[in-house]
Each structure stands twice: as structure tokens, then as C-alpha cells.
Amino acid sequence: MGNDVALIKGDEEIDRASRSLKAMSHPLRLKILCVLGDQEMSVQDIVEVVGTSQSNISQHLAILKGKEILDSRKEANRVYYRVSDARMLRLIGMMREVFCHAGK
């Protein structure tokens, strides 16, 4: 029976990973994650680096936050985002290495 419990827990993690990867697969969301990496950035800073409208960035940040990939905090009139989970940071780090700096 202990194996069944481990399998169920494993299935929950597989489901979470699948949902996260689906959310991350959009080109703009992947670019946002590559820009963020292991740092915290304001929405305005993300907009400047990524180069699209604030409303578009905010929409994609909300999706990533909804999938528990990002956390946010508000300070005065700015919202700051960061990757929420060390496992996601490792995954994003690998993706950055493989895809985001491909020209180097």
C-alpha cells in the first residue's frame, strides 16, 4: 500500500509539472521567465526588457502566477515578480542555458 501512496503523490507532481510546462510553453511567457531567471523584477522592468505592452505582460504574468510558477509582491505602486519554487528555478535555469542564450 505504501507504493500506491507514493504513486499518487508522484502523479500529483506529474500533473503540476505538466500544467507548468503548458503555461511556460507560450513564447512570450518563456521570454518573461528567461528575463526573470532567479531575480525579482517589477512589471515595468519586465515590459522594458521584453518589449511589449504592459497590459500584455500583465496578462501573461497573471497566467504564470495562477499556475504557481511566479509569486508577486506589491511595494507602493509597483508589483514585483519572482519565480516561486526552487524546482522551477532549476528548470528555468536549464531552459535559459539551452534556449535563451543560444546565440552565445
Place of cell 504564470: 64
pLDDT at 5: 58
- CA Rg, the chain, in Å? 15
- Taking the domains of the chain in order of start, what are their residue ranges? 2-100
pLDDT at 21: 87
Tell which residue, 3, 104, 23, 9, has the closest CA to residue 68.
23
Q: How far is the C-alpha of 43 from the C-alpha of 29, rounded, in Å?
A: 13
From first to last of its 104 residues, the chain has per-residue pLDDT tens of 455 555 556 788 888 888 888 888 899 998 999 899 889 999 999 999 999 999 999 999 999 999 989 999 999 999 999 999 888 888 888 877 887 665 44
Q: Which CATH architecture has domain 2-100?
A: Orthogonal Bundle (1.10)
Q: Tell the burial category of 80 from Cβ atoms under 10 Å away from its Cβ (0-12, 13-18, 19+).
A: middle
pLDDT at 104: 46
What pTM does this model have? 0.80
